[in-house]
Amino acid sequence: MPTERRFRQGDGRIDILPDEVVLLDFTCRECGRAYEVMIKASPGTTVINCNEERLCKPCEKKALVRILQGRGCVVPEEQLLQMTIDELLSVDPKARPGR
């Protein structure tokens, strides 16, 4: 069974050992909501910077929508907000709706 450790925002850089599960507690820099991220290390050692400011998923989605709109995206905002983050990352800002 993998080991599990918990860290908080501001704890600096941490090394995650192979197959270790780490819980990271963060406060969203946009809305102030507290949330938790679970990370399982890859087969090698993984380094994570706990000092980074992060966004919660809803704020990350809103930020991506604002970026796309700023780039002239013609897809309606309502449609963009229904997409997953992965879908938003693959949107062509110049694509027409429904394509």
Enumerate the domain spans of the chain: 4-49, 57-89
pLDDT tier for residue 91 given thresholds of 50, 70 and 90: confident
d(CA 39, CA 56): 15
pLDDT of 97 = 59
Q: What is the pLDDT of residues 14-62, one digit of tens each?
A: 999 888 889 999 999 999 999 998 988 888 888 999 999 999 999 999 9
Strand order in the sheet with 21-27: 4-8, 21-27, 34-40
Alpha-carbon distances, residue 59 vs 51, 64, 74, 90 (angstroms) = 19, 9, 21, 18
Non-local (6+) Cβ contacts of 27 within 8 A are: 9, 33, 34, 35
Alpha-carbon distances, residue 74 vs 24, 80, 95, 97 (angstroms) = 37, 10, 7, 7
66-82 mean pLDDT: 91
